Amino acid sequence: MRITNNMIAKNLLSTVQRNLQMANKARLNIATTKKVRRPSDDPGGTFQIQQFKVLISRNDRYLKNITQIRGFTTNSEAALQGISDDLETAKSIAIQGGSGTASAEARQSLAKNIDQLIDNIIDQGNSRFKGRFIFGGTQTTGTKPFTRSGDVVTYNGNDADIKSTIGFDTQVTYNKSGNDVFAPTGGVDIFSELIALKQGLESNDTDAIQNAIDKLDGALTQVTSLSAEFGVIQNRLTLTEQLIETKNINLADFLSQIQDTDILEEIVNLQILENAMATTLRTMANVIQTSLVDFVS
């Protein structure tokens, strides 16, 4: 079969058109920085892209939950520290009031100080984070967890746990109820002991005052233990957050490899295509010129 100049020209034109399409795609890849813009560009890659985006979105939700939990537990720790400071003050007052040199009048004055500390501790027990009570169990809005009427302090919350998801199939409980803090089973009923101390000071009862000193030691240990538990939760959150952030970095890298344009590589490819088209067009010009000469001859 004889290969004519016309056949060569058609093949060269087809090559130019193919290279032009590839060059246009390369320019679009550079302009958009994306090499996969629709499913037809890479069906398999498109599926992977969607999967990676779902995983990243899920991890972002976990990170948001961790931020929320961290704020809640940080406020809880701060409230417990305030309670601990007030209990230390109450213990100092009890020691002062239990002294053999303290008069009945002095103890009456000290009782007023304890009364004020009880109110302070109630305020700490009613602490909020973003409008939510931190020691009310799952009853985080509405009635305050603690109310006082005379020498009676009432807990109005519940003992339910507040949980949140921080990983695939992983939840963390991040609250302590009012009873956990102030009247745990087998522990010290803090408000009852403070009121007993106040009444002992008011009635000049040294035995009651001395008894309160030991009870306040137990109360301090109780509160400190809870603070340590929040510290453990905080450490867990930090470790989990670091792991999730590392996963997201890796997922974003995989996503970029599939979806994003390698700009430098694409520029080189574009230059190669443009050079190839220029060479092909010159060849076509020579073929057409030769055909015209042959026709004239």
Ramachandran class of 185: left when φ > 0, alpha when ψ lies in -120 to 50, beta otherwise: beta
Residue 292 has a pLDDT of: 44
pLDDT at 67 over 90: yes
In this prediction, residues 115-133 reach a mean pLDDT of 98
CA-to-CA distance for 142 and 128, rounded, in angstroms?
A: 12
- Nearest CA to 236 out of 69, 77, 81 is that of 69
- Scanning 99-139, the segments in alpha helix (DSSP H) are 104-125
Angle at 70 between CA 66 and CA 75, to 5 degrees: 155
CA-to-CA distance for 76 and 109, rounded, in angstroms?
A: 32
Domain around 14 = 8-30+263-297
User: Into how many domains does the chain fold?
Assistant: 2
Helix (H) or strand (E) holding 8: helix 5-32
CA-to-CA distance for 167 and 38, rounded, in angstroms?
A: 31
Say yes or no: 144 and 269 in one domain.
no
Say yes or no: 132 and 275 in one domain.
no
Say yes or no: 231 and 276 in one domain.
no
CA-to-CA distance for 154 and 133, rounded, in angstroms?
A: 15
In this prediction, residues 204-215 reach a mean pLDDT of 94
Say yes or no: 59 and 192 in one domain.
yes
CA-to-CA distance for 178 and 154, rounded, in angstroms?
A: 10
In a domain, 41, yes or no: no
Say yes or no: 65 and 112 in one domain.
yes
Phi, psi for 245 (deg, rounded to 5): -65, -40
Say yes or no: 77 and 198 in one domain.
yes
Q: For 242-273, write each residue's pLDDT tens digit.
A: 999 999 999 999 888 887 666 677 677 767 76
CA-to-CA distance for 281 and 9, rounded, in angstroms?
A: 10
> What does the mean pLDDT of the chain come to?
88
Residue 9 has a pLDDT of: 59
In this prediction, what percent of the chain has a pLDDT beyond 70?
82
Beta bridge partners, 165, equal: 171
Q: Which amino acid is at 242?
A: Q
In a domain, 230, yes or no: yes
**CATH code for the domain of 189:** 1.20.1330.10
Least reliable range by pLDDT among 30-44, 126-140, 147-161, 209-223: 30-44
Residue 34 has a pLDDT of: 76
Residue 22 has a pLDDT of: 67
Q: With contact defined as beta carbons under 8 Å apart, do 234 and 73 qualify? A: yes
Give the global pTM.
Answer: 0.78
Beta carbons within 10 angstroms of residue 224's beta carbon = 13
Higher pLDDT, 230 or 6: 230
**Secondary structure of residue 244 in the 3-state scheme:** helix
